[in-house]
A and B are shown apart, each in its own frame.
Chain A
Amino acid sequence: MRFVFKTDYDQDIRLLKHSGYWWSYGALLAVLIAFPYLVGSYLQSQIVFVFIYAIVGVALIILTGFTGQASLGHAAFLAIGAYTAGFLQSQGISFIVYFPAAAIITGAVGAMVGFPALRLSGIYLVIATIAFAFIVEEILARWESVTHGNEGMRVRTIDFLGQPIPRDGDAFYFLCLLVLAGSILLALNLLRSPTGRAFIAIRDSETAAKSMGIDLAGYKVKSFAISAALTGMAGVLFAHKMSFISPEMFTLLLSIEFIMVIIIGGAFGVHGAVLGAIFIVMVDPFLTALKDDVPVLGASLATTLGMAPDAAGKLRDTMSAIGSAAGLKGAIYGLIIMMFILFEPYGLYGRWLKVKLFFQLFPLYKKATFKRQKTYVKSERNR
């Protein structure tokens, strides 16, 4: 186990706290740079989706994990970013301009959504953001002169100062990696400065935050705006990756997937966004494979165990009917969320920290180290 001897305040401010960080993040960077040359195009494309989801995850961690404001409307922010990119590109505006423009427009919309957050909290805020997402979905379907309505909209290849960046090329992979790294750096910088601490203060006690001089209204709006702007940037990348966008891509289920990213990854640290994104993006191909393979496997297993061939065929049909039932994906997602909330509220990153501590302390690790304790009751009277 490493003991860092602190002699300077800078040691608490700096992001790479000791030489171990340089080694591990350096290795990670090397792997990420080498990835496009090592893996096939399918996996590379999945990793690009991991990056895009992770950017949204970082945005949600800033809003939900650190400011304590829940949102089920992030699919709408993604949509606004995506459609801004699609529309501005069709007007002949360059990527260099519409990429930041999408972030700014989405950020402005996010600030507007932030205003109801001043008066709403908890479940009521969630309902308000769902309502916002439905409004956006409806506008996208009806504002045909800009969005082409339900027909959807084609998004052409990025033209980066005359240099095309095709959606399945290596350059696109690196672009997404760069945006993700930038968002993570932004989030970390925010968290080690007064604004980030103000967010945490608002999450833990609004009353105390107020009397410490934190303007609740201002910081809630800031948090919503930053979160929305990051999601808007992810939306631009998403639009180019899909090359076709339509309103039914940005539904409530997508917002729930984003919430899952941070619940599964762990909302208390930025690492969680990346781990959660890996989980969510990879669970879909996994479920698809299960849907195709499990019925066949089950039927052949039943035949070997002595079941009549037509009965086994019936079993296979029943299983594949269950597998392709509408809403099954949602049910499985719901189950995963419940399991994580019940058994590992700190997510995959929390689990990783516990495993790490187990090995650091090896023979001395106590079973009750992370037992959740009852905390003191806090007064909510002055809210």
Chain B
Amino acid sequence: MSFFTVDGISLQFGGLKAVDSVSFSVEKGEIFTIIGPNGAGKTSIFNLISRLYDPTSGKLFFEGRDITEVPSHQIAKLGIARTFQNIELFENASMLANLLVGRHCHATTQLWQEILFLPSVRRAEKEHRRKVEEVIEFLDLQAYRDKLIAGLPYGVRKVVEVARALCSEPKLILLDEPSSGLNVEETDDMSFWIRDIRTDLGVTVLMVEHDMTLVNRVSDRVLALNYGKVLASGTPAEVQAHPDVIAAYLGA
């Protein structure tokens, strides 16, 4: 069985089929990209995977385990982390606090221990901090540790969100439009980081992206969606040459 499998998943809002029996599977160590015009159902698939939505039908498998019924707050513990298209950071907290929230799924201390701040809590905190510092170093965020998110520029926030997802030490990371709102240079950096996340950290990447330059540069495989249905899948070149994909983007 594949590392991560989406098996015939559908999502229906009333009469609208946002996702219509989509199936694909992602192998370990792959960079897998979902592309498609606006409203194709890409982010809906991400919301289904992180269990913010319940699928109308179909199943999700992660490392051979059925995760279709797992509550959303346990997904992170299984090793699936995500970022959001519109940046969902904790605005009125420092960057460090944001990244430490990323460590939440590894928290082992109990409430009463935390109230007394026992030595075990202090030790655990330092261990979390050490892991967070590794991510800060990896993504070059040293300058922003104590800054409030509300005061950071958009490009930095985008990176902080990736950092927060990496802090949970995921096996699979879902990146929802990592390059949206970034300039050319920042997009370049992002493409290097995405490849490093896969190569150096060994994290499988599943992303939604519109910037085809970035897609071509980093993706191993691409899946094209339109109106919730799969149009084509394969290498970036194959998918871009597919007549249905060209029709969807340019109009037949």
Chain A interface (Cβ < 8 Å from any Cβ of B): 9-10, 12-13, 186, 189-190, 192-198, 200-201, 203-205, 207-216, 222, 268, 373, 375-379, 382
Contact = CB atoms under 8 A, between A and B. Distances in A.
Interface in B88-106: 88-93, 96-97, 100-105
B65 interface: no
B116 interface: yes
The 8 closest A-B pairs by CB, nearest first: A213-B105, A213-B76, A204-B90, A208-B88, A193-B114, A194-B107, A189-B117, A379-B86
A222 B115 contact: no
Contacts of A13: 122, 125-126, 129
Interface string B73-84: 111110001101
B115 A189 contact: yes
B204 interface: no
Given A213-B168, A375-B150, 6 more contacts: A197-B100, A200-B92, A205-B89, A209-B101, A216-B73, A379-B84
Contact of A212 (B47, B87, B102): B102
B52 interface: yes
A268 B84 CA distance: 26
Contacts of B52: 207, 210-211, 382
B90 A195 contact: no
Contacts of A192: 117, 125
A262 to B, nearest CB: 15
Q: Which of B76, B90, B109 has most A Cβ within 10 Å?
A: B90
Contacts of B47: 382
Contacts, number: 125
Contacts of A189: 114-117
Nearest to A196: B114
Contacts of A382: 47, 52
Contacts of A379: 84-86, 88
Contacts of A215: 71, 73
B40 interface: no
Contact of B126 (A9, A204, A212, A214): A9
B129 to A, nearest CB: 5
Nearest to A206: B88
A87 B76 CA distance: 47
Nearest to A375: B150
Interface string B151-184: 0001001000000100010000000000000000
A194 B88 contact: no
A10 B116 CA distance: 17
Contacts of A196: 114
A149 to B, nearest CB: 37
A59 to B, nearest CB: 14
A196 B71 CA distance: 22
B154 A376 contact: yes
A213 B129 contact: no
A200 to B, nearest CB: 5
Contacts of B93: 197, 200-201, 204
Contacts of B216: none
Contact of B125 (A193, A205, A376): A193
Contacts of B147: none
B10 interface: no
B72 interface: yes
A211 B82 contact: yes
B50 A194 contact: no
B217 interface: no
Contacts of A373: 150
29 contacts: A9-B130, A13-B125, A189-B115, A189-B116, A190-B114, A192-B117, A193-B109, A193-B117, A194-B100, A194-B107, A195-B111, A197-B104, A200-B90, A200-B92, A200-B93, A205-B90, A209-B90, A210-B73, A211-B82, A212-B101, A212-B102, A213-B74, A213-B168, A268-B92, A376-B87, A378-B91, A379-B85, A379-B86, A382-B52
Contacts of A208: 84, 88-90
B154 to A, nearest CB: 7
Nearest to B97: A197
A195 B117 CA distance: 12
B214 interface: no
Nearest to A195: B114
B192 to A, nearest CB: 25
B75 A12 contact: no
Contacts of A194: 100, 103-104, 107, 109, 114, 128
B103 to A, nearest CB: 8
B164 A212 contact: yes
A192 B128 CA distance: 12
A224 to B, nearest CB: 13
Contact of A198 (B81, B104, B117, B125): B104
Contacts of A197: 93, 97, 100-101, 104
Contacts of B130: 9
B121 interface: yes
Nearest to B174: A211
Given A378-B86, A378-B88, A212 B76 contact: yes
Given A189-B116, A205-B89, A9 B101 contact: no
Contacts of B88: 205, 207-208, 378-379
A382 B129 CA distance: 30
A269 B250 CA distance: 54
A88 B50 CA distance: 49
B92 A204 contact: yes
A212 B84 contact: no
